[in-house]
Amino acid sequence: MSKRNINVGNRIVCFILITAALPSYGQTGMELFKDGNTLYNETNYTEAIEVYQSIIAQDEHSPEVYFNLANAYYKTNQIAPSIFYYEKALQLAPNDEDIQNNLAFAQNMTIDAFEVLPEVGLSRVYRNVVNGLSFDIWAGLSVGFMILFVLLFLSYYFAHGSNKKRFMFLTSFVSLFFGLFALTLAFQKFEYMEQDNPAIVFATETEVRTDPNLRSETAFNLHEGTKVQIIEEYDDNWSKIKLSDGKTGWISSQDIKEL
């Protein structure tokens, strides 16, 4: 059992104190985590970063490690890495309010600010329904309804009496409908997951161009810490990105780091 003690920052009102059980690391990983926390609480943030990174290098991942690593980066005024690792922590613990709050604090330090294009009408409702459950749950529901359809249809086939056969027939096709509906949403959820390819800008300032070459015009500039979506890659050197406000352009792949 280990604790994460977050000190009060100069630029934030405070980091919330949180206590969490470290997941099932090996002994070395747990000891490193404790060493990193000790260094952090002694304000040796650079050394703490090295220790937390060594845990990740052992292919041991947890929201606690990413969270503390992000805090250490924030303390050393490295905004892009702090946002990157808060986002990594949030991927593993999407409902953790402490991570969400600290990520918001770090994002307030970025230069770029873009409005989010809102979805309206049926498109918004449909996306909310799809995102309401995970891909695994939608797929599981689809299989469950299909099995129920088969059982009900067999019951209809062997049933006696017109009322019972009618009931079995209707309920079997209702199950088939919901099974196909869940299957459709499962595929749509998978497509959303495939399209979701976020990255964080690590360059202090970078130019986003209209085409994937240095001869093209500069569409706009971005600064460290900005979150983008990668929608296409070209020749391993360029990535086409999309911002939350809908703007697109080509950026050097070396200036961003994929989540």
Give the per-residue pLDDT at 259. Answer: 80
pLDDT digits (tens, 9 = 90+) for 27-76: 477 888 888 889 989 989 999 999 999 988 888 888 899 999 999 999 99
Give the per-residue pLDDT at 177. Answer: 93
Kind and range of the H or E element at 241? strand 238-242
Q: Could you tell me which residue, 205 or 23, shows the higher pLDDT?
A: 205
Residue 89: exposure state from Cβ atoms within 10 A (0-12, 13-18, ≥19): buried
- Residue type present at position 45: Y
Helix (H/G/I), strand (E/B), else coil: 148:
helix
Neighbours of 167 (CB within 10 A): 15
- Taking the complete model, does pTM exceed 0.75, yes or no? no
- The rounded mean pLDDT for the chain is 83
CA distances to 158, 228, 252, 257 from 55, rounded to whole Å, are 61, 27, 29, 20
pLDDT digits (tens, 9 = 90+) for 122-135: 878 888 888 888 88
Angstrom distance (rounded) from CA 239 to CA 243: 13
pLDDT of 117 over the 90 cut: no
Region 184-188: mean pLDDT is 91
Angstrom distance (rounded) from CA 51 to CA 58: 11
Give the per-residue pLDDT at 72. Answer: 93
pLDDT of 210 over the 90 cut: yes
Residue 190 CA, chain-centre distance (Å), reads 14
Residue 176: exposure state from Cβ atoms within 10 A (0-12, 13-18, ≥19): middle
Angstrom distance (rounded) from CA 199 to CA 241: 9
Residue 191 pLDDT level (bands cut at 50, 70, 90): confident
Region 246-259: mean pLDDT is 90
Give the single-character DSSP code of 78.
-
Q: Could you tell me which residue, 201 or 156, shows the higher pLDDT?
A: 201
Angstrom distance (rounded) from CA 133 to CA 137: 6
Residue 14 pLDDT level (bands cut at 50, 70, 90): very low
Give the per-residue pLDDT at 119. Answer: 66
Q: Of 58, 63, 73, 78, which is closest to residue 21 (Cα–Cα)?
A: 63
CA distances to 116, 124, 181, 192, 225 from 121, rounded to whole Å, are 16, 6, 20, 18, 32
